A and B are shown apart, each in its own frame.
Chain A
Amino acid sequence: MNHLLRSHAPISDAGWEMLDEEARTRLTSALAARKLIDFSGPHGWDYSARSLGRVSPLKATLCEGVSGLQRRVLPLVELRADFELSRAELRDGDRGADDTDLAGLDQAAHQIAMAENIAVFYGWGGAVVGIGEASPHKQPKLGSAIDGYPGLVAGAVERLLCSGITGPYGLALGREQYRMVVETAEHGGYPLLDHLREILGGPIVWAPGVDGAVVLSLRGGDFSFECGQDLSIGYDSHDDDVVRLYLEESFSFHVATPEAAVALKP
């Protein structure tokens, strides 16, 4: 048994299969960043930092004629989303109920996926430098006029090309922006979604947590998500009525080429 303590939970094998599958389904739809950036790992829960290949000078000398340097590393961050499930509902699931109430898990999955997206696209208080804050490019405003989207996305692609960043390119769209794009047909009935795909040469991703949009290169090597422990469900505690579980992951994120993305404000 590892630190997730899953075997201590009052949950059957079939129950765990149901929870894991539900979590996978919910997470896969919302984990936008992973659909656009490089992923490595998992390296395990005990993996704590990524090497940056850089050093900092050490001013203090230990003895004459000897200098020193300190290696710089990027520490991993942890995300955790706690939730509760009714034990009666889980027992009904074991009996074959196909409408088990897993709302607590669903909400936690959405929240932790959104947190991962925000950390990657916008950073996390100094612990993670995000794509948007690293990008040196101007951040144009999308505005409320949906017919301006093709011009703005094409402009972002052109800016990347000017910086020597080759495609294909992907587009992460915030919830409101995504809804507007998928519901819009341009003159002649051509779906805006298809038009934008042709400009990008790559995918358009629904990205909860993104405020506006981000255009970025998918050529690889520019944005690196390093996974310690990938998303897992662990056990915390239980009583007669509920079992308390959590979703958890550890990761670092590194922008190797800041100019390989353009953020667009809402």
Chain B
Amino acid sequence: MGFDQYHEPPEELPAATRTFARLCASLTEEAEALGWYEQRIAVETDPEAVAIMRDAQGEEFKHFSMDLEFLLRRTPRWRAVAQGILFQGGDIVEHGEEAEAEAFDGEGSGAQGEYEAGSLGIGSLKGVAR
């Protein structure tokens, strides 16, 4: 079994970075599956088969979203940018530029929002409770 999600020697990586890489790999796989189902559904003519694949694709929506939420919770800088882009009406590119400027403005060396080795990476929990 390979460990393709690691770009650097795994034994040199902190545990939190290995977890991050695993979830990034999982996110990629879910996105691929979403694309595959979309293509299969587009060409399938049997309505029953389409219904099953739509149901399966729904599972992938859930998996992708859970992976993404985990990664955003553990990565405040990413979360800050995403909050300015996701679930907003209007121009996506414009929101992206604004979110980037807002999240990184005055950050200087880039140290803000990056977790030091050993951090539990908890960060903001706003939006977690209901």
Contacts and interface: CB of A to CB of B under 8 A. Distances in A.
Interface of A: 1-2, 4, 6, 13, 16-17, 20, 23-24, 27-28, 31, 34-45, 170, 197, 203-205, 218, 227, 229-234
B121 A230 contact: yes
Contacts of B125: 28, 31, 34-35, 39
B72 interface: no
Given A203-B130, A232-B116, A44 B121 contact: no
Given A35-B128, A203-B129, A230 B122 contact: yes
A17 B119 contact: no
A38 B126 contact: yes
Contacts, number: 90
Interface of A is mostly: mixed
Interface in B70-128: 76, 111-128
A34 B123 CA distance: 8
Contacts of B16: 20
Given A34-B124, A39-B124, A41-B76, A231 B119 contact: yes
Contacts of A17: 15
Contact of A24 (B120, B124, B130): B120
Interface residues of B, number: 23
A199 B38 CA distance: 41
A31 B118 CA distance: 19
A197 B129 CA distance: 11
A27 B116 contact: no
Contacts of B113: 41-42
Contacts of B112: 40-43
A194 to B, nearest CB: 11
Max count, chain B CB within 10 A of own CB: residue among A16, A38, A230: A230
Contacts of A231: 119-120, 122
A34 B120 contact: no
Given A39-B124, A230-B123, A232-B119, A44 B111 contact: yes
B55 to A, nearest CB: 30
A230 B119 contact: yes
A91 to B, nearest CB: 18
A218 B130 CA distance: 12
Most chain B CB within 10 A, of A6, A16, A31, A41, is at A41
B120 A2 contact: no
A45 B126 contact: no
Nearest to B124: A39
Nearest to A205: B129
A34 B79 CA distance: 15
A44 B111 CA distance: 7
Given A20-B16, A42-B113, A230-B123, A28 B128 contact: yes
A13 B120 contact: no
A4 B118 contact: yes
Contact of A204 (B118, B121, B122, B129): B129
7 contacts: A17-B15, A20-B15, A24-B121, A28-B122, A34-B122, A203-B130, A227-B123
